[in-house]
Structure 1
Amino acid sequence: MDKPNLSAGCFLGVDGGGTKTAFVLTDAEGRELARHEGGSSYHIQIGFEALHTLLHDGVAAVLAEAGATPQDVIFAFFGLPAHGEDSQVQPFLDVIPEAVLGHQRYACGNDMICGWAGSLGGGDGINIVAGTGSIGYGERQGRSARGGGWGEVFSDEGSAYWIAVQGLNAFSRMADGRLPRGPLHEILTRELELASDLDICAFVYAKSAPQRDRIAALSRLVARAAARGDVAARRIFEEAGRELAAIVESIRKRLGYEPGETVDLSYSGGVFQGGEPILAPFRQQLLAHSPDYRLVEPRFTPAIGAALYAARLSGRRLRLPVDA
């Protein structure tokens, strides 16, 4: 393997998220130089000052690991959650990287772009993200479209947060007799150390911890219950697959795919790491919409996708011969 050439400059990719933020630095040829992981970059949850600190520290860490400086960065892309969803807030988000880098060779966008660029290597197609929240994004012949991603209060269907909320609802129904008690009730009771069923209210409504991430983390317990055969939990994942497929289908239509035209579709986010419990109903629902979908495993991480997109915005194209 050739030695990375830092003297030719580098590209910085930042993939933000509700739970964690990944920083990746590649050389001008696309070879990874360094990576770093920080916490949530969801400004609605952590605030602008904390976001500035997170990005400053993350960029400093990844540059230091590679022995690079901000001036070595040819271009950077910062994919931030909720970017573009508040016209009054966006100008404040867009200037934070300038204070971090000391120059304007960067762009900001929604983190959905990172998932798409990484999963499909920047090629035409659609990517669906199901992490703490959910959102879809695709490009075809210069056109772009997004779907979902309206936030956890009334959207984010199929996300970890959504799955967790449905699981909590099922627990409450099991507790008061509206549903038969299954493994989900036992698992939540044990893992949350509930002395009584109603204690789950204290856990959910407590103000001592970030609500969104804390609730979303419960999706893993719902997945565990589904693996143990819990009927209600399995139905939640079936519905999650249906909702995620509906987001994808809406994007396919808006991108103008013709009948018979193959639609490359990939996915990213922690929910999909659960494997078949979510992928099986997702595939089934996609087929019900159209036979033209071709489900492909992600080629690269969203953070690498951010670096790919940074290079593209600078007018270059990274060569990434092997999956990252």
Structure 2
Amino acid sequence: MTGGPERAFVVGVDSGGSGLRIALAEAGSGTGSGAGAGVDEGGTGPAAGADAVRVAVLETVVSRGPVRTGPGGIDAGQFLDLVLPAVAAMTGRAGGGRIVAVAVGAAGMATLGDRLRAELPDAFAAAWGTRRLALAADAVTAYAGALGQRPGVVVAGGTGLIALGTDLSGWRRADGWGHLLGDCGSGAWIGRAGLEAALRAHDGRRGGSAALLARAEARFGPVAGLPGALYPRTDRPAVLASFTPDVAACAAAGDPVAAGILELAARHIAEAATAAAGSGGAGAGGAVADGTEVAFTGGLFRLGEPLLGPLRAELAALLPGVRQVPAGGDPLAGAVTIAAALGGGSLRLPEDVRLLQLTR
């Protein structure tokens, strides 16, 4: 006689510019409408909401670097070379069991994910015997991590910035167009604005900040050499964003130029949230219902009051009826939440050809 039914697991994957994170979790149950906080790290802590999917994360593995991107998009072969052995090792350490569902959130999934969409379903079916697979843009896993499967709006901000809203019948996206065309209010946007103010001070033009000039030269060296050092780099957005903490520090110290940059960033962020909520943007669906939840997630929002104070004011002016709530979890928690709901047949987030594709 065996000691009981075979254990069931789900796998969540978060693939981004800084690396690959893979989580093995116990398959949960419930309606799956709760927040990402229902993902219990190490099997401890309460699930979020009375009807949340309760998922115990058993182990997380982090890769040393990001998955390569080439002319064909995200490299599915390298992705599988990283994920399959890691999951096999984690499952073995957990005592064995079967994988019932997988969710992959990847930066660039919408435009660079063709190879993942073509190769992952068959590869996971061959390795684990499951075709329950969700392939999501990282904005969707950020949403699921922050709000779970509840309607609302999530703004994910770091080097870049994107806002995503849903009433569970479809998605509304705002910004996320990259540092050259958008990502307004993001870390790259704030850093670039701060460096522009530093260069204005260097030149003696209006709008410059001596405090930002001093910070820029302390971080990068003489600013006259900054264009030549910056423009050839392929990681320009990250380099620009690296100056964002300096802008926040100058704003906190009372520099009016730096404070003005963060006030304008807050306005851009609130405008993106407003558009994603369906109010004030192209294709907007009308007024936002009172009580609509808005969450902010990502490293940008750890800058503190120099950004958060103006953001609260802008949000109150543009979306007076909404309720700001803390993010329940990060994008990896969102991937696990989606996998658990998919495995239990309770996934409520809407399918979308570019944002969330499902196989069952």
What TM bracket, shorter-length normalisation? Answer: 0.7 to 0.9
Q: CA deviation at 1:260?
A: 4.9
> AA paired with 1:293?
V
Residues 105/69 of structure 1: CA separation in 2 closer, same or farther (3 Å cut):
farther
1:218 maps to 2:243: yes
Q: CA deviation at 1:98?
A: 4.3
In structure 2, the residue corresponding to 1:156 is in which secondary structure? coil
8 Å Cα contact 1:19/1:41 also seen in 2: no
8 Å Cα contact 2:201/2:213 also seen in 1: yes
1:198 maps to 2:224: yes
Q: How does 1:270-281 map to 2 (within 5 A)?
A: 270-281=299-310
Residues 259/215 of structure 1: CA separation in 2 closer, same or farther (3 Å cut):
closer
Q: How does 1:128-143 map to 2 (within 5 A)?
A: 128-143=155-170
Deviations 1:272-300 (A, max 9, x none): 11122222111111111121110001112
| Of 67, 70, 82, the match for 1:57 | 82
1:154 counterpart residue number: 181
1:264 counterpart residue number: 293
Distance 2:73 2:5 in 1: 34
2:105 counterpart residue number: 79
Distance 1:174 1:69 in 2: 62
Q: CA deviation at 1:189?
A: 0.7
Residues 94/70 of structure 1: CA separation in 2 closer, same or farther (3 Å cut):
farther
> AA paired with 1:225?
C
Deviations 1:87-145 (A, max 9, x none): xx442232353476445432212101111111112211110011121111122142321
In structure 2, the residue corresponding to 1:198 is in which secondary structure? helix
8 Å Cα contact 2:166/2:277 also seen in 1: no
2:276 counterpart residue number: 251
Q: CA deviation at 1:206?
A: 4.0
Residues 95/132 of structure 1: CA separation in 2 closer, same or farther (3 Å cut):
farther
Residues 240/317 of structure 1: CA separation in 2 closer, same or farther (3 Å cut):
same
Question: Is the helix fraction higher in 1 or 2?
Answer: 1
1:235 maps to 2:263: no
Residues 180/252 of structure 1: CA separation in 2 closer, same or farther (3 Å cut):
closer
Q: CA deviation at 1:57?
A: 2.0
Q: CA RMSD in A?
A: 3.0
1:119 counterpart residue number: 146
1:172 maps to 2:199: yes
Distance 1:267 1:234 in 2: 20
1:182 counterpart residue number: 210
Q: CA deviation at 1:152?
A: 1.6
Distance 2:154 2:319 in 1: 16
The structure with the largest alpha-carbon Rg is: 2
Structure 2 unaligned runs (5+)?
Answer: 29-54, 348-360
2:171 counterpart residue number: 144
1:23 maps to 2:22: yes
Residues 296/41 of structure 1: CA separation in 2 closer, same or farther (3 Å cut):
farther
Distance 1:234 1:302 in 2: 30
- Count matched residues: 307
> AA paired with 1:137?
L
1:321 counterpart residue number: none
8 Å Cα contact 1:18/1:132 also seen in 2: no
Residues 59/173 of structure 1: CA separation in 2 closer, same or farther (3 Å cut):
farther
Structure 1 unaligned runs (5+)?
Answer: 319-324
Q: CA deviation at 1:62?
A: 5.3
Distance 1:256 1:128 in 2: 18
Identity of aligned residues (%): 27
